[in-house]
Amino acid sequence: MARWEPDPRGRLLDAALALFGEQGYDRTTAAQIAERAGLTKATLFRLFADKREILFQGQAATVDTVRRVVGDAPDDLDGAALVEAVLDALVAEHVPEQQAVGAAIAELTASSEALRERAVHKRFVITEALEHALRSRLQDDARAAVLAWAAVRAYYDGFDRWTVAAPGADLRPLVAEELAHLRAAAADPAVRTG
């Protein structure tokens, strides 16, 4: 009998990244990923709907963080402060080892239409969750929509820069720079007046 090993999700992610890198996304099967991870195909499908979901497994945790941070924030925080609190919480969840994983996933996503579609869906789900949470707090649908879009855009643009930065780079200032850039663009009179 095989010895039980912890972290099946992490093992499946490692196996998927290795196999996708060796064979390409389309030529890799769920069965191959499960075998490489030392798991059964049934275990893979118990944890993930399909092989794509292995790469996007952080979506639920990100949505939970967004909702929790906005819901638990002090009542006196305005929309901008809520966005900063959410971004701080999202950045704090990343460890340095995720930089290389993020780079590998970004490279795979760029090479696969199915993965690009899934990445867009993930961003939409996170933006929608943040917008809904902000709407409940701010009671202003338009402001909640704009803040949610800007926050998620800043987070992902900063994350994309992080994946190609020198190993060990700090994600926090990259996200902050992206948010500042979006704020400056929104404040530009030429942007507001067309």
Q: What span, in angstroms and rounded, lies between the C-alpha atoms of 159 and 153?
A: 10
pLDDT of res. 3: 47
pTM of the entire structure? 0.90
pLDDT of res. 188: 74
pLDDT in tens, 34-82: 999 999 999 999 999 999 999 999 999 999 999 999 999 999 999 999 9
pLDDT of res. 5: 66
DSSP per position, 36-63: HHT--HHHHHHH-SSHHHHHTTTHHHHH
pLDDT of res. 189: 74
Same structural domain, 167 and 106: yes
Q: 92 vs 40, 95, 112, 172, CA distance in Å?
A: 33, 8, 29, 8
* Count of domains forming the chain: 2
Q: What span, in angstroms and rounded, lies between the C-alpha atoms of 19 and 12?
A: 10
Q: Which residues of the chain have pLDDT under 50?
A: 1-3
DSSP per position, 147-187: HHHHHHHHHHHHHHHHHHSPTT--HHHHHHHHHHHHHHHHH
Structural domain including 77 reads 58-193
Handedness of CA 151, 162, 122, 93 (dihedral sign): negative
Residue 21: phi and psi, rounded to 5, are -70, -35
Task: Supply the CATH number for residue 29's domain.
Answer: 1.10.10.60
- The 10 Å Cβ neighbour count of residue 126 is 23
Task: Supply the CATH number for residue 157's domain.
Answer: 1.10.357.10
Same structural domain, 24 and 66: no
Same structural domain, 106 and 41: no
pLDDT of res. 63: 98
Same structural domain, 26 and 87: no
**What Rg do the C-alpha atoms of the chain give, in angstroms?**
19
Burial-class residue 62 by CB neighbours within 10 Å (0-12, 13-18, 19+): buried
